[in-house]
Amino acid sequence: MRARIYGAWGSGAGCWGTTWRCEGMSTDLSLVDGEPTKSEALGPPAAFPVDAELLDAYSRAVSGVVELAAPAVVSVEVQHRRRGGAGGGSGFVFTPDGFILTNSHVAHGASKTEIAFADGRRLRAELVGDDPDTDLAVLRVDASSLLAVPLGDSGALRVGQVVIAIGNPLGFQSTVTAGVVSALGRSFRSVSGRLIDNVIQTDAALNPGNSGGPLLDSRGNVIGVNTAVILPAQGICFAVAVNTVKLVVGHLIAHGHVRRARIGVGGQNVSLPRLAVRAHRLMQPSGVLITTVETGSPADRAGLQPGDIVVAFDGQPVHGIDDLHRLLTGERIGATTTVAAVRKAERLELPITATESAKPKP
């Protein structure tokens, strides 16, 4: 019986009939009467050069992005009087005249903020505005002609697309990790209780300190702002999509906060009785049960009462509190519309004029 031992570049040895592949061998050997004899020299498998080219292209893409974007990534160092001690995170320059993006949970309430640049410079920064509802904040330093990274288009992302994260995890500055877009359209609840919509899920490794750093595509465009990690899990990280960032940044620069509407109720999500759904021809099986109504609020003036179940606002179905939050945008401030509510067996259509939410406290 003759068997041939072939060189292999795989992860282990396998056997097909009389053929053996043994890892690490570089020559072709024949077994004759149990003794190996040297035969022809073998080269690597035909696929090896292709894999090497792909690996090299991936490496060039990642290193090229880092070369372009890393100088614009900064370390955000903050001090808090109320909390005591210091903290920090990451950020990045997005305009040459000194505007910097980071997370609200990094910058909010800081008594002093310093920015450490990749070239060693350290500058004091002022808080232009922050929005806990989307966990975004804008800082500004007194500098000009800074290297900035461009904001891309998160709407063009695809699951499986390569992404690169740059930040300062655990105090290690200018750390680079790469991965792929794991999922799109996720929702993540912010510290304020509102849902952040259209969040990007990625497996690019993030750790405390990465917060506020950029998530970039292979062209070096920012497609998200890294915001959170699920600590018990591995490889489940989230970034606020850059299309959301663009909307929020305009408000923060113009007003210092994001203008949102309010109607002055407290509530909870509840299921609607089937009879009520059929009787009122509702589009959804749930709504918002009003538990409190603020005196003098838009809801109070409209005639809403505790026990009412809100099922629509401005003609749009309301399945729960998150739907109501999404509908109470800045454009609703001062605009008269209608709110639909179920009160016992009756459906009410009430005119209501939302007012502006209070600016977040520093």
Angle at 192 between CA 189 and CA 197, to 5 degrees: 35
Q: Quick one: pLDDT band at residue 231, thresholds 50, 70, 90?
A: low
Q: What is the mean pLDDT of the chain?
A: 83
- Which of the following is catalytic: 75, 182, 190, 211? 211
Question: Which percentage of the chain shows pLDDT scores above 70?
Answer: 82
Q: Note the pLDDT tens digit of each residue in 192-206.
A: 778 888 899 999 888
Rounded average pLDDT over 63-83:
89
Q: Is 251 a catalytic residue?
A: no
Distance CA 334, CA 298 (A): 10
- Which of the following is catalytic: 90, 104, 105, 130? 105
Specify the pLDDT at position 14. Answer: 36
Rounded average pLDDT over 127-136:
93
Specify the pLDDT at position 242. Answer: 94
Q: Note the pLDDT tens digit of each residue in 298-316.
A: 999 999 999 999 999 999 9
pLDDT at 2 over 70: no
Q: Is 97 a catalytic residue?
A: no
Contact 287, 342 (CB under 8 A): yes
Give the domains, in start order, of the chain with CATH numbers.
4-41 (no CATH), 46-258 (2.40.10.120), 261-356 (2.30.42.10)
Q: Which residues lie closer than 8 Å to 295 by C-beta, 6 or more apart?
A: none
Specify the pLDDT at position 31. Answer: 44
Specify the pLDDT at position 229. Answer: 72
pLDDT at 279 over 60: yes
Of residues 210 and 295, more confidence is placed in 295
Specify the pLDDT at position 234. Answer: 66
Specify the pLDDT at position 42. Answer: 45
Phi, psi (degrees; rounded to nearest 5) at 337: -140, -160
- Which of the following is catalytic: 130, 131, 133, 135? 135
Name the token pair of 205. 């490794």
Q: Quick one: pLDDT band at residue 216, thresholds 50, 70, 90?
A: very high
Rounded average pLDDT over 15-34:
40
Q: Quick one: pLDDT band at residue 50, thresholds 50, 70, 90?
A: low
Strand ranges in 217-319 using DSSP code E only, listed in sequence order:
222-229, 237-241, 261-262, 265-271, 286-293, 309-313, 316-317
Distance CA 200, CA 179 (A): 12
pLDDT at 21 over 50: no
Q: Note the pLDDT tens digit of each residue in 173-185.
A: 778 999 999 999 8
* Strand order across the 19-23 sheet: 14-16, 19-23, 4-8, 27-32, 35-41
Q: Is 257 a catalytic residue?
A: no
pLDDT at 324 over 60: yes
pLDDT at 10 over 60: no
